[in-house]
Structure 1
Amino acid sequence: MNKKAVIVAGGTTGNLNEHQSLLKNADVIIGVDGGAVALLEAGVRVDVAIGDFDSISAENLQLLKDKAEKVIELPAEKDLTDTEAALEYAAQQLEVDTIFMLGLFGGRVDHMMSNLWVAYHPDFQGIIEKVVMIDEANTLSFYRPGSYHVHKEEDKKYLSFISMTAVEDLRLSGVKYSLDGKDFDHPIALVSNEFLDKEMNFSFAAGLIAMVQSKDIIKKRS
């Protein structure tokens, strides 16, 4: 059985209603700072609320203490960000197969980059392949060397491979722009590829890759 944890960070969470199925089927839901409040406002349970809670009101903090199963208050001055602390909690306290993370993108650029940089954090090397980062337009997963079979998400058009390190022998098949054993001696973003059908395969021999399935967001005119 694939046990799932969902971490909802304090950044732009988008419409949590779009993730109702994921949240409903999660074994553990962790709200980070304002993300915990967003969960309660959306009518979603909060198993663990974690953060320094400097971005929410005293009233909302009390609401979390009343409604959440567990509240972990962190000091404002600390080595980890609130989101990293939530991931650390999931890694150390939970036995789960997948850790979905929502609300990481769309806000401050420094926060967004620090969220992506968990891929390099030594404390998370044992779980980084369990992490899936999601927002309304993107699904990002991390991969270590190996061979993989990927299914197309129905609502996504694009497929990108972003090497977080140098990469050896990258092979892509079943896509518009295939590769047959390409080496890259520096991190590179291979973006806006597309599935030829509903499935594709990729493999590589060394490095770390972030794979992103994405779509364009059409903004409605006011």
Structure 2
Amino acid sequence: MKKCLVVTGGSIDISFVKDFLQNRNYDWVIAVDAGLEILNSLHIMPDEVVGDLDTVEPSVLKEYRDNPSVTFEIHKPEKDETDTELALLTAARCGCDRVDLLGALGGRMDHEISNIQLIYQFFKQGMEVCIYDAQNKLYLLDGGKVFRRSEIYGKYISFMPLTEVVTGLTLKGFKYPLNRRRIELGSCLCISNELNGEEGIMEVESGVLICVEAHD
């Protein structure tokens, strides 16, 4: 599995990024626009810089433009894709099948919602994309998953339909269990669930869920 880190120019806490990256290693690092400034402050060298680069401090941009080991993929501001979408397309082109995305939550609501919907495009292609911030880990699920207390990102685990209908949702080992339940887009049934013990199992027969592991 080839793992990629994508750091965007969205709302982001540098101290969180520093702690998050402490025990993680990546095969490929992509800076999206002002995400380059975040990596620069942490002395992390990206493999690629993607975007229209309209929000990057010129002195920081020059430092990396002069580095031959960094590839630039520069686009005009007037384009069909968002900078984050371009970065994920780059990650797919580089053969990455696992992406951790930082800076995609917070800030403008339209960007936040589009980033959540965006990962569905790559999920369908077999890419595992996780969006992180200091409180949340967000990703998509179909099929099934085992949740272990020692591994989850926070106390709360929420499931929300991304597709119009999700059928056969079963939750075992959770505070609020379910047995082959059908839920439709717009349902809040599965918000803020918790593990009862050390392990919980989620199964779904059809459809795609947004899963959020979160803490206060």
TM-score (norm 1): 0.87
Superposed displacement of residue 156, structure 1: 1.1
Please identify, of 147-156 and 164-173, the stretch whose mean Cα deviation from structure 2 is larger. 147-156
Amino acid in structure 2 at the alignment position of 1:138? N
Match of 1:220 in 2: none
Match of 1:219 in 2: none
Call closer, same or farther: CA 1:109–1:173 in 2, change over 3 Å. same
Alignment of 1:75-154 (within 5 A): 75-91=76-92, 93-121=93-121, 125-128=124-127, 130-144=128-142, 146-152=143-149, 153=151
CA deviation string 1:28-80 (max 9, x = no partner): 11110001121011111211111101112322221231346211111111110
Match of 1:17 in 2: 18
Amino acid in structure 1 at the alignment position of 2:148? H
CA distance in 2, matches of 1:85, 1:132: 16
Unmatched tracts of structure 2, length 5 or more: none
Match of 1:44 in 2: 44
CA distance in 2, matches of 1:127, 1:97: 7
Amino acid in structure 1 at the alignment position of 2:87? A
CA distance in 2, matches of 1:113, 1:154: 23
Superposed displacement of residue 106, structure 1: 1.3
CA distance in 1, matches of 2:37, 2:72: 12
Unmatched tracts of structure 1, length 5 or more: 217-222
Per the alignment, in what secondary structure is the counterpart of residue 37 of structure 2?
helix
CA distance in 2, matches of 1:9, 1:48: 12
| Percent identity for Structure 1 against Structure 2 | 31
Contact 2:160 2:185 survives alignment (8 Å): no
Contact 1:30 1:49 survives alignment (8 Å): yes
Contact 1:168 1:207 survives alignment (8 Å): yes
Contact 2:120 2:140 survives alignment (8 Å): no
Superposed displacement of residue 197, structure 1: 2.1
Superposed displacement of residue 154, structure 1: 5.6
Contact 1:164 1:188 survives alignment (8 Å): no
Call closer, same or farther: CA 1:52–1:179 in 2, change over 3 Å. same
Per the alignment, in what secondary structure is the counterpart of residue 104 of structure 1?
coil
Q: After the TM superposition, list the runs of 4 or more consecutive aligned residues in structure 1 that deviate by more than 4 angstroms.
A: none
* Number of corresponding residues: 210
